[in-house]
Each structure stands twice: as structure tokens, then as C-alpha cells.
């Protein structure tokens, strides 16, 4: 068994990775149930699918959290509210 003590596996870290795994599993099930995902053109003016919008929301959320950590002393839980709002906007408008 490899020694993973250097990675600081805490409950928030586990929840983070389990959440991403759950999102990917849900998107996979959604794609299986309804293939194609209706590609559409949003405010960025290029064609995106559900998977593209999930990727953009995860990438943007990472930058929101990094900015939050670098610019404020407030707990990261507040940034997650902004990340959820951002993801909603991406799935709605992009």
C-alpha cells in the first residue's frame, strides 16, 4: 500500500474529489440516457455540449477558489457559493 500521508487527505479533500467523481458519473449517466446533449451556441459564440460546460464550470471554479485563497482571509466555504452561482451561469448562458 503506497504511503499517501504527504497529500493531507482530510475530509474536505475527500468531499472535493468525491464531488467531482459524482459530477462526472452523473454527466455520464445523463449522456447515456440522452445522447448528444444538444450542442448549442451561447454568449461565447462557439458550440458547447454539456461536457464542455461542465469542464468550463470546473475550471472557472478552480480559479475562483484560488483567487479567493489569495485575496481574502475568509473561509473557502463562501467561495463555493460563488462557484455554484458561476456554474449555474455557465450551464445557462454558455
pLDDT tens track for 34-51: 887 788 898 988 899 888
Would you state the pLDDT for residue 1?
65
Grid cell locating 16: 472535493
The total number of structural domains that make up the chain: 1
Classify residue 30 by burial, with Cβ atoms within 10 Å: 0-12, 13-18, 19+.
middle
Classify residue 54 by burial, with Cβ atoms within 10 Å: 0-12, 13-18, 19+.
buried
pTM confidence score: 0.79
Query: Residue 43's domain spans which residues?
Result: 5-93
Q: Which of 4-13, 30-39, 47-56, 84-93 has the lowest mean pLDDT?
A: 4-13
Confidence check: pLDDT of 8 > 90: no
Amino acid at each position: 500500500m503506497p504511503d499517501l500521508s504527504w497529500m493531507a487527505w482530510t475530509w474536505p479533500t475527500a468531499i472535493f474529489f468525491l464531488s467531482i467523481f459524482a459530477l462526472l458519473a452523473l454527466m455520464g449517466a445523463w449522456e447515456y440516457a440522452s445522447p448528444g446533449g444538444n450542442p448549442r451556441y451561447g454568449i461565447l459564440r462557439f458550440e458547447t455540449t454539456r461536457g464542455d460546460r461542465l469542464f468550463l464550470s470546473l475550471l472557472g471554479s478552480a480559479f475562483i477558489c484560488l483567487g479567493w485563497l489569495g485575496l481574502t482571509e475568509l473561509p473557502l466555504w463562501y467561495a463555493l457559493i460563488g462557484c455554484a452561482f458561476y456554474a449555474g451561469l455557465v450551464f445557462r448562458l454558455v
